[in-house]
Amino acid sequence: MTEFIYSPPDTPLDLIHEDHEILVLNKPAGLLSVPGKGAHLADCLITRLQAAFPEALLVHRLDMDTSGIIVFARTPSAQRHLGLQFEKRMMKKTYLARVWGQVAGKEGVIDLPLIVDWPNRPLQKVCHETGRAAVTEWKVLRHDGDSTRMRLIPHTGRSHQLRVHMRELGHPILGDPFYATGPARDFPRLMLHAETLRLRHPDGGRGMTFRAANPF
């Protein structure tokens, strides 16, 4: 396996929405959401965001390789409010993905419990004995030659959930450095994008949906 070298994109913040309680951004692929261990992994989205908005607080994360919608809080009360929405599965998220091969059928649900693969962490694996519930709804958008474009809707928020579930379906996400092999892996980035996020605003509870255009 090729040695990993962290080389985050040098792009300006893509701020989609800003108000007195929340900040919504479109995260580029290749940038950590939060700092990793060591100075070489210090550059990340929240650090860049706090340079402009020092009060910004973490609510959730996207994998380094995933692009798309991510929300931050501007007050501790907003952070608690949004955190509870995630905990109670009130947040609604959709993802776009390009996966290897031609997926049969138009839609379906993957219900496979996941647990960290300790000897190979941060990888995750399916485990029916000790895994935590993980459910993903999928819909085929179209077939593109040797790949399929899909919309993925996670009903739970496990680490690497969409990536493992698509591999288990037999159609790994293109460019996935962890779960794809052979030609499916030979892409410039992970073809996974957080397209939409629906939440209730911490101030008043109004439903709001944010969207980031698909980069691939």
CA 48, CA 25: separation in Å to the nearest integer? 12
| Tokens, residue 21 | 């309680």
Q: Exactly one of 10, 19, 43, 63 is catalytic; which is it?
A: 63
| Tokens, residue 99 | 């996966």
Residue 63 catalytic?
A: yes
Q: With CA atoms as reference, report the closest residue to 167 among 129, 9, 177.
A: 177
CA 149, CA 165: separation in Å to the nearest integer? 15
Is residue 34 within 8 Å of residue 41, measured between CB atoms? no
String of b and e for 97-119 (b: at least 16 CB within 10 Å)?
bbbbeebeeeeeebebbbbbbee
CA 209, CA 97: separation in Å to the nearest integer? 20
Question: Is residue 26 classed as helix, strand or coil in its secondary structure?
Answer: strand
Which residues on neighbouring strands pair with residue 67, listed in sequence order?
193
Q: Active-site positions?
A: 63
